[in-house]
Structure 1
Amino acid sequence: MSNKKHFSRRNFIGHSLIGMAGTAVLSGNPLAAFAGSTAPGKKYKLGVVGCGNRSKAIIGALNQVPDIEIAALCDIVQHKMPQRAELIKKGPKPRFYEHLDDMLKQDDLEAIAVITPPYLHKEHTIAALEAGKHVFCEKPMALTVADCNEMVRAVERTKKQLQIGTQRRHSPDYKVLVDAIRNQPVGKILYSDLNDYRGDWRVPAPDEYPPGVQYWRLNQKQSGGVIYEMGAHIIDVNNWIFDSEPVSVSSIQGVNDLALRKRDSADHGGVVVRYANGAVMNYGGVVYSYGPASPDTFFCVNGTLQFGGGQLSIHYGFPPGVPGHHGAPPKPEIRPLPRGGGVVEEMAYFAEVVAGKKKAYPDGPIGRQTVQICEGAFRSSQERKEIDISELG
């Protein structure tokens, strides 16, 4: 394997797979079961493309999903594959591939997990779909709405399933939050104040990249910066809660870079989004925070919810002078949150997708909505103006 500067993660994939045909996508409730036949006790074989740091969490989760075996690993950094293979606790030893097109020729693979840098998600996902594989694609779905649209069209052509890796949709604690906003007497959602204030912008270990291969998180065009990298998770949760289309976005972002050098990717920024239902999201992300995280706060007409620190607090109130409200509002509630980050749950759900029992969730259109906000935020920060989401396609 070459270590020259032209060597890049794009070498994962050849061009022989482009153009395979398919037809229309299944429709209906994304969480509903749909027709499909599976053999009792069948083990579905999955290939992982991208053996970087995130793959460790996915492999650890799949160790707890009995219906899926990891049968293949693919990465251009050769020594990463045996390292990740040591983490696999069940099934035969996986086969190793340096190029995705070679792995996709492995006929016994039913599914592919795309855990490569964001700028490669479209290319790797479409190749896997057109090779007849179901796909789990890590967040963000892609870096542009145009790329998301191509991925959605590939799902429509191939009839294969595409699940996006925003695991909070499957996480027990976030389900408690969404259930409270949906079913408690807090009224219409008006505004959210969300954050990712963390000090964990990871410096790669010396052996992670060959000489001449840049750490992708340092490159704005490859990673999208802090809004895509960290913000995609809570922005997706906000989309889930607001249950409305984003309309416009404004953002200011910057590069501080005290720890990592030669980088143009944003490491702090703020984003304000207006939705079609009139609600507003305010998001802030920064990777130079060393204190406790602030709770995420959701303001509703009749209540305020704060989520964080292992608990959900709900405080009720009535706007003064509003007809129909008599007596004291309900007493405040503090609910402990269940544990679990949602990664095991999302991979268990994906196993049911591969088995033909459920439709992918979150799917491409849901993943695209987050990218609309992230791409709009980046454009806003560059052009110094509010961006209309409809301009992004």
Structure 2
Amino acid sequence: MDSKIGVCVIGAGRAGLLHANNYRRNVPNAKLVAVVDPNEENAKHAVKELEIDKYYLNYQDALHDDEIDAVVIVTPTNYHKEIAVAAANAGKHIFCEKPMAINEDECDYMIEAAQKNNVKLQIGFMRRFDQSFNLAKEAIENGEIGDIVLVKSLTRGPSVPQEWMYDVERSNGPLAEVNSHDIDTLRWLTGGEFKSVYAIANNYRCQDISEKYPDFYDNVVLVSEFDNGKQGVIDGSVSVKYGYDARVEILGTEGVIFVGETYDKQISVCNVETGSKRPLTKTWRSLFKEAYLEEDIDFVNCIIEDSEPSVNGHDGKMAVKVVNAGNKSIKTGDKVILD
């Protein structure tokens, strides 16, 4: 193996380019070798921006490239299992963006393939690498707010979903695409597994696609109970327009912790015409920029040190399990008990 880990990013969209830029310029001991995208225009744009020479139009060709030691999968969710299993069988280490897969069986295939071929499998829950979230976790472990009672986590995005995301059968809906991070946050901060969920959802802002995609929802609320007795609430939205919003409230028996805010910069502008105003956070790419870099560094370090990823296949699978339980609750109107 080269002294640097050769990385290929599969998927040249917004998140793919964020990871690719990290590996190209900011991750020690890593070398961005290539990108993969079935759209040649996207692929050419990516290699130009990244100042590299190599791209592929299908991932199978990339897996035959001996310069590539690891892949970063940033494609629509329904392709994750196929690509991850093929990568593992080709001896490539795997970083897979959330959500890990469509269902638990697909997650199991991915985990088994990684174990069988002795390659790393890390899932992209970057909030575990964010400084503020880690300070909250440390405060919990230090007992600063007593015993945890309730964790409330919200993610609201301003973007209009891509076409494939409207198809809940293909994407698992906003619970997967938006709230996988919140699900993992609740597991991580409570230290428990989801015992039951009850979810309600509706489409308020994307009415123009309601006839073609009647199952799509742009707003969801999920209430949960954990096996250790703790409680959780998740609030998820897309197309909110006002900005990107990711916040957590952790209630304990002796205090509370607040993580995150809606403001992008520590500045307020005041005048007689507009009153007081502060710029809002517009995108997850800026809010969690450092966290994405830290998780990319962690992935490479795991390969070099032959250590277990901080966020592994089991963590990804548990989030997928909750997504499917939540979607079932939305459809049936019932509380769903998890095995």
Q: TM-score, normalised by structure 2?
A: 0.85
Which residue of the other structure, out of 51, 64, 78, is the alignment partner of 2:12?
Answer: 51
Aligned residues of 1:173 and 1:340 also touching (Cα < 8 A) = no
Which residue of the other structure, out of 140, 153, 159, is the alignment partner of 1:181?
Answer: 140
Distance 1:50 1:242 in 2: 33
Q: Which residue of 2 aligns with 1:120?
A: 79
2:154 paired with 1:195: yes
SS at match of 1:306: strand
Which residue of the other structure, out of 31, 41, 46, is the alignment partner of 1:69?
Answer: 31
1:323-358 CA-to-partner distances (Å, cap 9, x unmatched) read xxxxxxxxxxxxxxx985400000111111222343
Q: CA deviation at 1:53?
A: 2.1
2:68 paired with 1:109: yes
Which residue of the other structure, out of 288, 291, 294, is the alignment partner of 1:342?
Answer: 291
Aligned residues of 1:70 and 1:94 also touching (Cα < 8 A) = no
In the TM superposition, what are the counterparts of 1:146-295 in structure 2 within 5 Å?
Answer: 146-202=105-161, 215-258=163-206, 261=209, 262-263=212-213, 264-291=215-242, 293=245, 295=247
2:320 paired with 1:358: no
- Identical-residue share of aligned pairs (%): 24
* Paired AA for residue 313 in structure 2: G
* Paired AA for residue 184 in structure 2: D
Q: Which residue of 1 aligns with 2:253?
A: 301
* Paired AA for residue 383 in structure 1: T
* Paired AA for residue 157 in structure 1: K
Query: Unaligned regions of 5+ residues in structure 2, if any?
Result: 264-286
Distance 2:149 2:98 in 1: 27
Aligned residues of 1:271 and 1:282 also touching (Cα < 8 A) = yes
Q: Select the structure of larger CA radius of gyration.
A: 1
Q: CA RMSD in A?
A: 2.2
Aligned residues of 1:247 and 1:389 also touching (Cα < 8 A) = yes
1:80-102 CA-to-partner distances (Å, cap 9, x unmatched) read 1111112325xxx3422222212
Aligned residues of 1:167 and 1:341 also touching (Cα < 8 A) = no
SS at match of 1:143: coil
Q: TM-score, normalised by structure 1?
A: 0.74
Q: CA deviation at 1:291?
A: 4.8
1:365-390 CA-to-partner distances (Å, cap 9, x unmatched) read 11111111111101111122122221
Q: CA deviation at 1:246?
A: 1.1
Q: CA deviation at 1:58?
A: 0.9
* Paired AA for residue 265 in structure 1: F
Aligned residues of 1:115 and 1:137 also touching (Cα < 8 A) = yes
Change (3 A) 1:129 1:260: farther
SS at match of 2:40: coil
Distance 1:250 1:178 in 2: 26
Change (3 A) 1:94 1:243: farther
SS at match of 1:355: helix
* Paired AA for residue 66 in structure 1: P
Change (3 A) 1:381 1:341: farther
SS at match of 1:297: strand
How many residues align? The count is: 311
1:85-126 CA-to-partner distances (Å, cap 9, x unmatched) read 12325xxx3422222212111122110111111111111111
Aligned residues of 2:203 and 2:216 also touching (Cα < 8 A) = yes
* Paired AA for residue 218 in structure 2: D
1:261-313 CA-to-partner distances (Å, cap 9, x unmatched) read 344432111111111001111111112434574842111111111112289xx
Aligned residues of 1:47 and 1:70 also touching (Cα < 8 A) = yes
Query: Unaligned regions of 5+ residues in structure 1, if any?
Result: 1-37, 205-214, 312-337
SS at match of 1:201: coil
Q: Which has the higher helix share?
A: 2
2:339 paired with 1:378: no
Change (3 A) 1:257 1:105: same
**More relative contact order, 1 or 2 (CA 8 Å, 6+ apart):** 1
